[in-house]
Amino acid sequence: MKITKLSDFFVTGDPLIYGADVAIGLTMVAIVVALTAFKRWGWLWREWLTTVDHKRIGIMYVIASLLMLFRGGVDALLMRTQLALPDSMEFLKPDHYNDIFTTHGVIMILFMAMPLMFGLFNLTVPLQIGARDVAFPLLNSLSFWLFFMGAMLFNVSFVIGGSPEAGWLAYPPLSEKMFSPGVGQDFYIWGIQISGIGSLMTGINFIVTILKMRAPGMKLMKMPMFTWSVLSSCLTIILAFPILTVTLALLFIDRYFGAHFFTLDMGGNPMMYINLIWMWGHPEVYIVVLPAFGIFSEVVATFSKKRLFGYGSMVFALMSISIFSFFTWAHHFFTMGSGASVNAFFAVTTMIIAIPTGVKVFNWLFTMYKGKITFELPMLWTMAFIPCFVVGGMTGVMLSVAPADFQFHNSYFLIAHFHQVLIGGVVFGYFAGLYYWWPKVFGFKLNDKLGKWAFWLWNIGFYVCFMPQYVLGLMGMTRRVSSYSWDTGWWSWNFVSTIGAFLMGAGFLFQVWQILHSIKFMERVKGDPWGGRTLEWSIPSPAPFYNFAITPKVEGRDDWWRRKELAAKGVQDPPPKYEPIHMPKNSGTPIVMSVFWFILGFGFVFDWLWLIVPGAIGIAATMLYHSFNYDTDYYVTAEEVRKTEAKAGEGCLMAHVAANQSSHDHDHGHDGHHDLEALRTMGFWIFIITDCIIFGTLFATYAVLMNNTAGGPSGAELFEMPGVIAETFILLTSSFTSGLAVLSMNRGDKKGLIGWLIVTAVLGASFITLEVTEFLKMIDEGAKISTSAFLSAFYTLVGTHGLHVSIGLIWMVALMLQVAKRGITPVTKRKIGNISLYWHFLDVVWIFVFTIVYMMGVR
């Protein structure tokens, strides 16, 4: 975009925004001044920005997401203020109202709920399974910084360039260039894309962590329920987020290259976007609510002083929901007109998925039944959640009745429903989790009295705000309207609703006060303030940086509880014998790379090549730097561990109760056993699976759009098979030679390895050359990406594969250099194994491109 005057770049003309400009500027100045005055820059960099410690990353997630909750909440209050009175109110102009509901929705789900959830994962999971960190600490830090940069990119649109205003899911054709020509929509796309990559990697990270890094003896069926819920949520993440990535990428290609996936003309089909985005969107709501279920399970058991009722059924419910959530997506567009059988099918699947959810509610109730319940804050939020979620779930089942949904759709009934499950389920759940684990994380408790105020304000406010909205929906008030007239009769209900919203706002303020107050009058706690049941309570609060001085040996569910019972019986533990601990080093790579992502995203938003190019180069350079860096970890000496433990210990039971110390010899019998290279291989495999989903989504799009040639050439007229057949055989052969490279490697034959890698790379390069030639010729003949929906889908699918091959080539060269320098070591072995896997995978994808695109296309 060409900037000619200041108002092309900065958002101008609105006093609210000028106020925000000033506030943002002052805050930034204040931060810089404070850091400089207190000489804290080095501290900030060393202790936080470059940390790979999951606990600190977790804290950063929580802080960022609470800030986002604040912004999303202010947005909500602005909207409710606008809706408090009919007609005459012009507090927010209609287009400003559009900005705000779009921003509110995106922020609340993607930049508040998701990172708060990741924060809780990070703070808790490694401690619950007795691990020293997550499987990939550096990747974990990268995930955080990508989220952070993505969130920042999205948020600056408020003052620079202008906000997106096509709703939180950006339905086309409204979100297409024709109807949203501004940069807001591009901020939306890039903000979500960048943070989405981070979410995907977190998903992979925690799956590997949970499957492979559990303390010895912790069989799957002995895991704490929160860990189970994280596993189910992450499984859904890795399967669903690639779909979002593709969908937004296609929208971007439409906007940037003038393609026609979702436009109204040239064969594009906006409905396809809606179909795709909900394939991610529905699983997404389960992604955020499953961990909340996990939290409630922990809290209920702890504060009822009982084991969780129905452990097995709970596990089954969580895992089945994480898969079943993929089969209900069409209930978001019953009104699209896909026919009665489609609607009937998705109505039924939606109702079925309510069953495992119901099972869980009964499990919680039975856990409380006859328990010695104490009403601490986490428990209060849990008890508030249950009725709220039950009502929200029931209105959800009402919505799932397809014919009835024609009435409810896009009305305030829907708004009330999803806020009830999102606030009553997700937000209440995460609050419960925060209150529950806060003492573990920070070593002090939060003030109870202020917390109760916040609790009651949130709860009363919630019902006052959202119950009237069910009524409004039935009265016919549609969502996303910024005003209504007196004669609709909606005024009184709206006014009440606004009061409720402000009560919740007050609740939030009480929470801020509560935190500040508790920091000031710090009430220190020991390792186990609640009488917990799971491993995280067995170590000091806050946990030392290596978590467990001695890897615990687990024998049962609720292992900490078991050990406390043993201790009460007077069973003494042997004195701890400390050993050196292997730890990852801090690294600046993640934050630097994420800054380059920000630059790249900002460049694409404004279409400034002079930013895009350095951004892309920077990303590639940091990636290569990381690949060549072998100095990533160190050892903490046994002496240092002893000192740290002595300092933190102060007589609390803590790790000394490590009843049976695990010895470091590996018993291969349990699946908790791990070693670094095996972890990484598994992580890479899961990454390949997510890539499968990327291609699957592209194939689906191609299948739906392939006949929409809009008067342009069809495949039969365009494709020239000799070249394609040559490409196919070349790639197939390279898949074979990459295998031969692995064989040489396994024999320890370094020359052979490098030789076969070179052959593979040359074949790959010839493949790319042929493909590029083919593309250029087609374009020359007038078959461009903007010619028709068919060609958009064709170039994108085949081009994505080509891009993968090209990246693989760069990677292969980097690996050759590493092998040449370092020889065949476990690390280079793992890397070569992975790239050959990647190469086979690309060949498999090509088989399907060849078959479905070319062979079926020329017939």
The site for ligand HEM (CB under 6 A) is made up of 73, 76, 79-80, 101-102, 104-105, 108-109, 113, 167-168, 415, 419, 422-423, 426-427, 465, 479-480, 501, 504
3-state secondary structure string, 383-442? HHHHHHHHHHHHHHHHHCCHHHHHHHCCEHHHHHHHHHHHHHHHHHHHHHHHHHHHHHHH
Q: Which is nearer to Cu ion, 124 or 357 (CB)?
A: 357
d(CA 759, CA 761): 5
- Of 80 and 282, nearer to Cu ion (C-beta) is 282
In terms of Cα–Cα distance, which of 460, 441, 451, 452 is closest to 527?
441
Q: Could you say which of other proteins, Cu ion, ligand HEM, none residue 109 binds, taking C-beta under 5 to 8 angstroms by partner kind?
A: ligand HEM
Question: Which amino acid is it at 576?
Answer: P
Q: Which two tokens stand for residue 332?
A: 């978001």
Q: Could you say which residues in the range 185-214 bind other proteins, by CB under 8 A? A: 211, 213
Interacting partner of 415 out of other proteins, Cu ion, ligand HEM, none (Cβ under 5 to 8 A depending on kind):
ligand HEM
Question: Smallest gap, in angstroms, from Cβ of residue 280 to Cu ion?
Answer: 11
Q: Which of 102, 193, 199, 551 binds other proteins (CB under 8 A)?
A: 551
The minimum distance between CB 334 and Cu ion, in angstroms, equals 11
Query: Which of 223, 441, 653, 686 forms a contact with other proteins (CB under 8 A)?
Result: 686
C-beta of 35 vs 852, nearer to other proteins: 852
Closest residue to ligand HEM: CB criterion: 105
Residue 42 has a CB neighbour count (10 Å cut-off) of: 9
Neighbouring-strand partners of residue 633: 584
Cα–Cα dist 68/113, whole Å: 9
Q: Where are the alpha helices (DSSP H) in 476-576?
A: 491-520, 559-568
Name beta bridge partners: 444: 524
Q: What share of the chain is helix, strand, coil (3-state, %, to 5)?
A: 75, 0, 25
- State the minimum distance, in angstroms, from the CB of residue 745 to other proteins: 8
d(CA 818, CA 824): 9
Structure tokens at 84: 């408090």
Contacting residue, 432, 679, 730, 835, with other proteins by CB under 8 A: 679
Residue 436 binds which entry of Cu ion, other proteins, ligand HEM, none, CB below 5-8 Å type-dependent: none
d(Cα 190, Cα 598) in Å, to the nearest integer? Answer: 9
**What is the rounded distance in angstroms from the CA atom of residue 415 to the CA atom of residue 490?**
15
Least Cβ distance, residue 208 to other proteins (angstroms):
9
How many of the other CB atoms lie within 10 Å of CB of 426? 25
Q: How far apart are CA 786 and CA 720, in angstroms?
A: 20
- Is the CB of 282 or the CB of 445 nearer to Cu ion? 282
Determine, following the binding rule CB under 8 A, whether residue 324 of this chain makes contact with other proteins.
no
Of the residues 89, 736, 775, 779, which one makes contact with other proteins according to CB under 8 A: 736
Of Cu ion, ligand HEM, other proteins, none, which one does residue 282 interact with (CB within 5 to 8 Å by kind)? Cu ion
Residue 104, contacted partner among Cu ion, other proteins, ligand HEM, none, CB below 5-8 A by kind = ligand HEM
Q: Which does 76 bind (CB under 5 to 8 A by kind): Cu ion, other proteins, ligand HEM, none?
A: ligand HEM
Vertex 533 angle, CA 532 and 539, to 5°: 70
- Cβ of residue 700: shortest distance to other proteins, in angstroms? 4
Asked if residue 71 binds Cu ion (CB under 5 A), the reply is no
Decide whether 491 or 685 has the Cβ nearer to other proteins.
685
Which of 86, 85, 148 minimizes the C-alpha distance to 595? Answer: 148
* Residue list 568-627, contact with other proteins (CB under 8 A): 581-584
Q: Binding to other proteins (CB under 8 A): which residues in 638-667?
A: 664, 666
Query: Binding residue for Cu ion (CB under 5 A) from 132, 282, 564, 674?
Result: 282
Per CB under 8 A, does 696 bind other proteins?
yes
Residue 426 partner contact from Cu ion, ligand HEM, other proteins, none using kind-dependent CB cut-offs of 5 to 8 Å: ligand HEM
In the 8-state DSSP scheme, what is residue 135? S
Question: Binding segment for other proteins among 125-133, 375-383, 505-513, 524-532 (CB under 8 A)?
Answer: 125-133
Out of Cu ion, ligand HEM, other proteins, none, what residue 423 binds, judged by CB under 5 to 8 A for its kind, is: ligand HEM
- For residue 181, count CB atoms less than 10 angstroms from its CB and return exposed for 0-12, middle for 13-18, buried for 19 or more: exposed
276, two tokens: 């795709």
Pick from 115, 182, 111: which is nearest to 153 by CA?
A: 111
What residues make contact with Cu ion under the rule CB under 5 A?
282
